Structure 1
């Protein structure tokens, strides 16, 4: 990875983690996935690329990492993602309101919470599950769900589905890409560019629509 963050903190590089932590690599991967989905600072971690590279890493080592079979590794990652999402919801529910109830606190304004809450009410499962695949959003989505008091049972169910689809699914995707040498080579060398392009294509149109709707809503509120 070629970002400034990785130049300063090499252990954020997925390949570095898997190469240098030996038998503890799986635990380190799970800890990072947990932090990315459960802690506010988690957005700095390389979630998507870490999962794909973990799968490829296991493929290159007879389907194991530190003696742990890939299917166990994938389940451990899925569990870490689920637990992280549960913690994020709890943090949002308990600690979020004092921050978000302020009249004006930038990104954490009450208006943004109201919009996020409306989004969750409208799209429910889709919002929770798809958030897993968008960097930064997957860190804040559980917290926003907690702040918005989304039904816990419903959230927990969708959180579990998202954790399996993303955590287990993307890890196995990386593993099976190993069977296609040309694709595996491209992924190993250009994973960050690929993921960034995917995020831009997915997020930018949605962001533009969101900003337009927000502007229209503000104009409507200002009219007598």
Structure 2
């Protein structure tokens, strides 16, 4: 229950989690869990549910004057964690990808998500690594799919660095510049939920569209079959 409570509290209120770490670990030690959470979310396909966007935003809030964190240290730690996380994910897929997929143990790697990412790679190429940085779940799976054969490592690294820097910079600096506004302070949990909702929206819309298209295709196939029988 302890680990479950930890993840529930982290997901629901990352601000309280960071405040607790600052008190318990100090202004330097606090960067260890921050690094670890972003690294694990982006580096291991088993943890796509970790709160990357909201954690970056909350850390940005604490990086403002008097918050306990230094904005430059926060940015650098998250840059390194995001880039190394994706790199780790890529090489895990490169070496073990087919076995992981075939085992079926990663339930989140559904055929639908795999197909969606295949579509992204076909349409956007390397920019998929940048685009999916801003999409929870997909940002965890995109480097994994890239490692299974969609992209060579040099090209992947260019887009990995670009996407990691853009993602971290956006969410940390939004928290840094706007986190001190009284309205944001008073409605922090609601704003965090809003960030999560906005981040997840493209994935939900894509899933709904895919389901509708599949239903239309199934209905069209059934209609075609009826016509042939007649």
Normalising by structure 2, we get a TM-score of: 0.77
1:140, CA displacement in angstroms?
Answer: 1.3
1:128 — aligned with what? 129
Q: Distance in 2 between matches of 1:27 and 1:182?
A: 30
Counterpart position of 1:39: 44
TM-score (ref. length: structure 1): 0.78
Q: Where do 5+ consecutive residues of structure 1 fail to align?
A: none
Residues 1-224 of structure 1 mapped to structure 2, 5 A cutoff: 5-6=4-5, 10=9, 13-14=13-14, 15-20=16-21, 21-22=25-26, 23-61=28-66, 64-65=68-69, 69-100=70-101, 108=109, 113=114, 116-186=117-187, 188-213=188-213
Q: How many angstroms apart in 1 are the aligned matches of 2:214 and 2:152?
A: 25
**More divergent stretch after superposition (212-221 vs 164-173):** 212-221
Contact 1:18 1:54 (C-alpha < 8 Å) held by counterparts? no
Asked whether the 8 Å contact 1:113–1:147 carries over to 2, the reply is: no
Cα drift, residue 173 of structure 1: 1.3
Structure 2: gaps spanning 5 or more residues? 226-230
Contact 1:129 1:158 in 2 (8 A): yes
Kept in 1, the 8 Å contact 2:61–2:180? The answer is no
Deviations 1:143-186 (A, max 9, x none): 11112332322221111111001112211111011353323433
Summarize the Cα distance change of 1:184–1:195 in structure 2 as closer, same or farther, 3 Å threshold.
Answer: same
